[in-house]
Amino acid sequence: MKEDFKLDNQLCFRLYTASRLITQAYHPLLSEQGLTYPQYLVLLVLWEQDGQPVNDIAKRLLLETNTVTPLLQRMEKEGILLRTKGKQDARQMIVSLTRKGKELQHKLADVPRVIGNAVMCDSVNPETAPELFRMLDAIIAKLK
């Protein structure tokens, strides 16, 4: 068998598996609050800066607006956020956290530490993490 076609030689398989397993690790932590991982990502964006246009949230998450919109609609129905028409441009939807959305930040305060502890090992630790982020960011930028 040609080396190029061995599963163990596929970077994409390692990235896929790591992503899947990390997302799986988030599940029990988020499901306690009735959240999915994509909803958590939206919350992270809004906790950084509340009151953002849908387009900006989608860009930040590297997703299309037609992918983000149904997610935001579900979160609005659950009382986590509000979508309102923009004051400058009525075609633009502005997304803001409700009290419930803001309180979730406190309820989920341990999640980054728990996930960090779950992935830390000999080769991935606080000293090596910045280099890993840089390499992953380079891959993402190249593929964008």
Q: What is each CA distance from 109 to 21, 36, 65, 137, in whole angstroms?
A: 21, 16, 28, 25
DSSP 78-125: TTSEEEEE-SS-TTSEEEEE-HHHHHHHHHTTTHHHHHHHHH--SSSS
- Rounded Cα gap, residues 62 and 68, in angstroms: 10
pTM: 0.92
What 3-state DSSP class applies to 52? Answer: strand
- Rounded Cα gap, residues 57 and 60, in angstroms: 5
CATH of domain 3-143: 1.10.10.10
The tens place of each residue's pLDDT in the chain, 144 residues long, gives: 688 899 999 999 999 999 999 999 999 999 999 999 999 999 999 999 999 999 999 999 999 999 999 999 999 999 999 999 888 777 789 999 999 999 999 999 999 999 999 999 989 999 999 999 999 999 999 999
Reduced DSSP (H G I as helix, E B as strand, rest coil) percent helix, strand, coil of the chain, to 5 = 65, 10, 30
